[in-house]
Chains A and B, each alone.
Chain A
């Protein structure tokens, strides 16, 4: 219930800011209209997916392509690579940044990961097979300390959930490119970097051989659907 309360507060804050920032021309009215519609809660915020899921293992998750690798830094400031961290696990990878303000953006992805660990916490086999990675879009702001704070208290059971960043945009960009994960950045008048403007929300399901087996956007990012896919991958290994 408290989570819902905070979500409602988010709407109030975002709506207030939108009213300030808009002029009266038609395009901006159109933006307002669309935004109001899109601000409805994404499916991942709801308990009920709204349609019946197939039985795990009754469908194929195709090999889309090999997942990207790259140098990252963990919450403790230790360097590693994405592939090292994925090793032997089924991985859910989400690109997020701690300043992300879109209800249906990074907070949704983090919330869905949180709910997944909640839902599978009594299934030791599933829990021990799964790795979750939240990797920042914004290494300039999201230092290992910030990512540690961001993840603090989120991964509170035995789930394997890392909150990662990179040492620079130069190290991050090849990773984003390898996942076709676009981001629009803000720049100041002098050309200096000023943070993340927006991005496409994408979550990647990667199997134990480091192959991407599904890509989710906001329309499909629901814990029940992701758990179904993870179970399907596990069954295909048996």
Chain B
């Protein structure tokens, strides 16, 4: 009886007012996040200040990327933060009102308000006690939105500046909640060690909520990522200090369940979007491979190397990756040769490279629109790891991607050195249609949210 009435109540509501509802996003963002449908209006570029260039400070650079705008492909806002912090990654809150951006050296976290005026962000708050609050995590790296919270993955610690680290959980107001240390041989924290390693290193964090799974990857600590790249390559001891693991976590309880061997510094993690695609990809920086992290038929999560990226002996150094919305394609940027490679991952166990093109002398990040037709590239890896001399190009480029023809068409470049901005690193999208406004939504693609 009551079930029937409940059903009628819902049905009545639907018949009263039906609105078209859809969900989309750039393909690498948290599934918890509000989504952009169609054309993004702005790209926010977290940019490293460079000594002797412009104001020398780290800054959030806002680029107008809406082709209908009079200032299309122009920098429309520059917000400097008062120093250099080794600006690196950034991430949006689940409501996309705020952009969190970290400094790997200063350990500061800058929280920008990008909703009050998406064209001109403001600095909302600076977290300056990250190391103290977290009990010693150093190097705030990934900022990943959970409902009402942000999970921050660390790269290092304040005891030995090595790679042992943890995850720091904050609420959406920027207040610390908890630290979750990565499992080590000395303290597995209840996790099962599958292979040789339990190094406790960290880098990226991603989730597959429908499987209650959180994954972390592993890079290297402060003593390496702040060292000169050439010097580090010659330092045998330093080269031993890279992560060789990924950790499978229980997302709900935040407890580590399993440590999987993934040798050679697994970096970015991208999880499939499809409702039955229980897997994620990563690439290993030092061994130049694509790894599949997947749930097997018994419900166990496993890791498997599934493809080579270029010639590993030439150390192409895979950096950022980006999965397409239909889980059929994976972009892989390789820093050393400045190339973007596109893999067909229709069979996730057998990725096949379909395309490659040199984007510049060096390339790091890629951000693609949900429909995959626009791919933005940027250059900087780390202040001390970027190339030097003429090879040290710093820019943001937009390409149009035609998947049928397998072709990238260059649309524009903004030269970050010529504009006296600095080294261009992580790019995030903004759109007016994300926010409720009497004026801003007129004539825009309405953005609907994750419901």
Contact = CB atoms under 8 A, between A and B. Distances in A.
B95 A219 contact: no
Interface residues of B, number: 73
Interface string A48-76: 00110010001110111100000000000
Chain A binding site: helix, strand, loop or mixed by DSSP?
mixed
B4 A2 contact: yes
Given A10-B10, A107-B13, A63 B177 contact: yes
A136 to B, nearest CB: 12
Nearest to A180: B172
Contacts of A98: 13
Interface residues of A, number: 75
Given A65-B173, A183-B436, A225 B252 contact: yes
A186 B24 CA distance: 19
B22 A215 contact: no
Given A59-B253, A180-B95, A156 B2 contact: yes
A201 B97 CA distance: 16
A31 B19 CA distance: 13
B81 interface: no
Contacts of B377: none
Contacts of A10: 10-11, 14
A124 interface: no
Contacts of A195: 17
A198 B24 contact: no
Nearest to A156: B2
A212 interface: yes
Contacts of B66: none
A85 interface: no
Interface in A208-238: 212, 215-220, 225
A150 B173 contact: no
A14 interface: yes
Given A34-B325, A51-B211, A101 B14 contact: yes
Nearest to A192: B438
B13 to A, nearest CB: 6
A129 B5 CA distance: 26
Contact of B2 (A17, A32, A101, A153): A153
Interface of A: 2-3, 5-7, 9-10, 13-14, 17-18, 21-22, 26-27, 30-35, 37-38, 40, 43, 50-51, 54, 58-60, 62-65, 98-102, 104-105, 107, 110-111, 114, 150, 152-154, 156, 179-180, 182-185, 187, 191, 195, 197-202, 204, 212, 215-220, 225
Interface of B: 2-11, 13-24, 31-32, 34, 37-39, 93-95, 97, 146-149, 169, 171-173, 175, 177-178, 209-212, 250, 252-255, 273-275, 299, 325-326, 370-371, 373, 434-436, 438, 441, 445-451
Question: What 9 A-B pairs are tightest by C-beta distance, nearest first?
Answer: A6-B7, A219-B209, A215-B148, A59-B253, A215-B147, A31-B22, A182-B95, A105-B451, A35-B22
5 contacts: A6-B11, A62-B169, A153-B6, A182-B436, A217-B209
